Amino acid sequence: MSFKILGTGSSLPSRAVSNEELSEFLDTSDEWISQRVGIRERRVCTTERTADLAHDAALKALDMSGVEPHELDLILCATVSADNSAPSLACSVQSMLGATCPAMDINAACSGFIYMLDTAAGFFARGKAGKALVIGAERLSRMLDWTDRGTAVIFGDGAGAMVLGPGDSYLASKLFARGNDTVLGIPNSDGASPYYENEPRHPFIFMNGQETFKFAVKAMSTDLEEVVEAAGLGIDDIAWIVPHQANARIIDSAVKKLGLDPERCLKNIERVGNTSAASVPILADELWRSGKLRDGDYIAMCSFGAGLTSAACIIRWEA
């Protein structure tokens, strides 16, 4: 027994920031960003906290599922940009919902949501959960160096959520990590200890774009191939691919490498940007609400990010 998806939800901050607006204070252009990355605008928090986005996405997922907060046995949040180091984002959401179940955060960077689905599958397999809420939520805008055109144009804020119940939809998964703290990361602030002798660090995202790009294309294509095989399927059996939205060219390269139909490989990066752990569940919510899903459709989700981590899974849609 694993789980089936009972409901999905997502939430974006109301403030949209276009490439043109970024060009007013960064040495960049709409042409460069849309051609090199595939983004035209992203959403950025003005008043919303990560917890507000997570809570809003959770309410929508609960509404679709018909599950009440008091019925939840588990809340998991994937995030690298929680409002607090403690309490966890999951505990903040639990309190906002009025739920009473165990709650914790998972950090596997952009791969966090799929790592978390796998964690939830373990709770279902052990009979420790009958209803679970899983959320990916990020406010990356507070971790950007807004003078760095290499990163400021790429990331956005948002949240996506799923409510899970018992079922057999989760067919196969792959989790991967290759520890590396130089290619892509977000340092914690070093604080103000009078005893600490190193140069203090700022909590800003740094990224070696080309190294990340190479890792991402390889991870996406290898993980999808392996997970499809592990589910006993062929790549042509997959109705929809829900990939992490980091760069449209990464998705296009993997599509080409695997010989996929580009129409089946979904994208919303143009409107949403890279929302890290929220990226896959936001896109999945768009798919769930699109009316395109048919009973028995196989859906592949895949992601990659800091760690370096990557993850993929296969889900069978059960109406």
Q: Which two tokens stand for residue 127?
A: 């009979």
Show Cβ contacts of residue 139 under 8 Å, excluding neighbours closer than 6 positions.
45, 48, 49, 50, 53, 81, 83, 157
Check 244, 247, 265, 268 and give the catalytic one: 244
Check 45, 110, 265, 313 and give the catalytic one: 110
| Residue 105 exposed, middle or buried by CB count within 10 Å (0-12, 13-18, 19+) | buried
Report the nearest approach of ligand COA to the CB of residue 178 (Å): 14
Of 34 and 95, the one with the shorter C-beta distance to ligand COA is 34
- Identify which of 148, 108, 103, 96 has the alpha carbon closest to the alpha carbon of residue 123: 103
CA distance 258 to 264: 12
Report the nearest approach of ligand COA to the CB of residue 103 (Å): 25
Report the nearest approach of ligand COA to the CB of residue 177 (Å): 14
AA identity, residue 55? H
Q: Which two tokens stand for residue 155?
A: 């990331």
Which residues of this chain interact with ligand COA, rule CB under 6 A?
28, 32-33, 36-37, 110, 149-150, 153, 184, 207, 209-210, 212-213, 216, 246-247, 250, 274, 305
Of 4 and 36, the one with the shorter C-beta distance to ligand COA is 36
247 part of the active site: no
Which position's Cβ is nearest ligand COA?
A: 209
Of 32 and 293, the one with the shorter C-beta distance to ligand COA is 32
C-beta of residue 114 within 8 angstroms of C-beta of residue 281: no
Report the nearest approach of ligand COA to the CB of residue 185 (Å): 11
45 part of the active site: no
AA identity, residue 162? M
Task: State the sign of the Cα–Cα–Cα–Cα dihedral 252, 254, 260, 265.
Answer: negative
Of 85 and 210, the one with the shorter C-beta distance to ligand COA is 210
Residues forming beta bridges with residue 109, ordered by sequence position: none
Report the nearest approach of ligand COA to the CB of residue 301 (Å): 15
55 part of the active site: no
Of 161 and 308, the one with the shorter C-beta distance to ligand COA is 308
The DSSP secondary-structure symbol of 264 reads: G
AA identity, residue 14? S
- Strand segments, DSSP code E, in 101-231 are 103-106, 132-139, 157-167, 170-180, 184-185, 206-207
Check 19, 107, 268, 274 and give the catalytic one: 274
C-beta of residue 90 within 8 angstroms of C-beta of residue 48: no
Report the nearest approach of ligand COA to the CB of residue 279 (Å): 8
Of 135 and 205, the one with the shorter C-beta distance to ligand COA is 205
Residues with a catalytic annotation lie at 110, 244, 274
